[in-house]
Structure 1
Amino acid sequence: MPHYEDMIKKMLPKTYHRKHVAHEICIALRHFKNLVPMMDRYVYNDGTTKNLMSLTGTIPVMFTEKTFNIPICVWIEESYPLTAPICYVRPTREMMVLSGKYISGNGEVTLPYLEEWKNKECDLMSLLQVMVVMFGEFPPVCIQPHLEPEQAPCWLQYHRQPEVLSKADGSLYLHLAREEDPPFQEENETNC
């Protein structure tokens, strides 16, 4: 692994704490084998962009006694480990974000572990472990319903229960079932 750590260190600009960040990434990759380190362009809320190191891929999450691979991206800023990474769930085309307690509508992860980040007490490996546990309790993504987004009635947004389904290849995914009967609707009333 030292050779791999050197490769990651070379990927990082000199503005990073290269040795420390490369070491933490290597530790995380030993346990989360479906994550890949890469330099990529991050767009901040104010529109500015910056090339940042990220860990992108999936983490295994237990939900209803089955394992699901949840797509994530963990952005590591140059100020790391003084500041917490910026984390997102990255749904595939078939998925949608389930915003809720720890996930915003755009997929940003807002765990207390990130909000209370402390240098020398918090690290990438622990962050990923916290994400696995919290996503097992509060799934961040599910499979999209079959309706086109503009055709989905408002009531569908509020009456969904996730269920575990499997694909022909044996992989598992979460599906939000449709309500069969919409709530009472007047004759000239629209769905939204």
Structure 2
Amino acid sequence: MPYSEDTIRKMLPKTYLRKHVAHEIYVAVSHFKNLVPMMDKYVYNDGIQKLMMSLTGTIPVLFEDKVYKIPICLWIEETYPQTAPICYIRPTCEMMLLRGKYVSNNGEVMLPYLQEWNSDCDLVSLLQVMAVIFGDFPPVCLRPHLEPEQASCWLQVNKQAEVDKQIDGSVYLSLAREDGKSFQQENETNC
């Protein structure tokens, strides 16, 4: 469904700079056709919930000469454009989140562009930066396809594991022992 600037403006509460925010969202969804604007509840780390505008969907990312659709969600607070959007990677059930330099354990995106946000920044530029960075540092990968008897083992391991991506592009899985200590080096393996 194509969104007009007027439709987006009507979605926004009056606490937003409606004309400016609606225009930026309209330009963003015009460039990134798989993003959808919607009002939804955002839950802060302290448990406080707030109704906010979000842009949810996928952005195209070029990685190793193939285009991948990376699922994201941008939360736009009513203080926008003075404050940067809150951005997350939203992996599907077939994907694993890859924690790294630009993505936290909970999927929050931490780009210099967001940290240095100012009045010259905008949603389209942010999305373009995300697409370029995620082409160099993919935030997700496909889960391994497992046989049904392996699936329960995978889920058990995945709850205790962290996936790390090395500079050379290799990926490794760090497992925690039941006592919370890390495994000794002699227990490491390359798969």
- Name the TM tier (shorter chain): 0.7 to 0.9
Question: C-alpha separation between the residues in 2 aligned to 1:177 and 1:79?
Answer: 39
Question: C-alpha separation between the residues in 2 aligned to 1:25 and 1:102?
Answer: 23
Deviation track 1:89-128 (CA, whole Å, cap 9, x = no partner) reads 0000011110000000000000000000002x10001000
* 1:188 aligned residue: none
Give the match's secondary structure for 2:106.
Answer: coil
Matched, 1:150 2:149: no
Aligned sequence identity (%)? 61
* 1:90 aligned residue: 90
**TM-aligned CA distance change 1:154 to 1:29, over 3 Å:** closer
2:59–2:131 CA contact under 8 A, matched in 1: yes
The Cα of 1:151 is off from its aligned counterpart by 3.5
Deviation track 1:140-176 (CA, whole Å, cap 9, x = no partner) reads 001123352313598994689979xxxxxxxxxxxx7
Q: How does 1:20-35 map to 2 (within 5 A)?
A: 20-35=20-35
* 2:178 aligned residue: none
Give the match's secondary structure for 1:23.
Answer: helix
Question: C-alpha separation between the residues in 1 aligned to 2:16 and 2:160?
Answer: 46
* 1:53 aligned residue: 53
1:142–1:162 CA contact under 8 A, matched in 2: no
Q: How does 1:98-177 map to 2 (within 5 A)?
A: 98-119=98-119, 121-145=120-144, 146=146, 148-151=154-157, 157=163
**TM-aligned CA distance change 1:20 to 1:156, over 3 Å:** closer
TM-score scaled to structure 2, two decimals?
0.79
TM-score scaled to structure 1, two decimals?
0.79
Give the match's secondary structure for 1:110.
Answer: coil
**TM-aligned CA distance change 1:156 to 1:132, over 3 Å:** closer
Give the match's secondary structure for 2:84.
Answer: coil
2:94–2:143 CA contact under 8 A, matched in 1: yes
Which residue identity lines up with residue 29 of structure 2 in the other structure?
Answer: L
* 2:176 aligned residue: none
* 2:19 aligned residue: 19
Unaligned runs of at least 5 residues, structure 1:
164-175, 186-192
Question: C-alpha separation between the residues in 2 aligned to 1:156 and 1:7?
Answer: 42
Runs (4+) of structure 1 exceeding 4 A deviation are 152-163
* 1:5 aligned residue: 5
CA-atom RMSD in angstroms: 2.7
Which residue identity lines up with residue 89 of structure 1 in the other structure?
Answer: I
Which residue identity lines up with residue 71 of structure 2 in the other structure?
Answer: P
Question: C-alpha separation between the residues in 1 aligned to 2:20 and 2:115?
Answer: 21
Which residue identity lines up with residue 52 of structure 1 in the other structure?
Answer: M
* 1:169 aligned residue: none
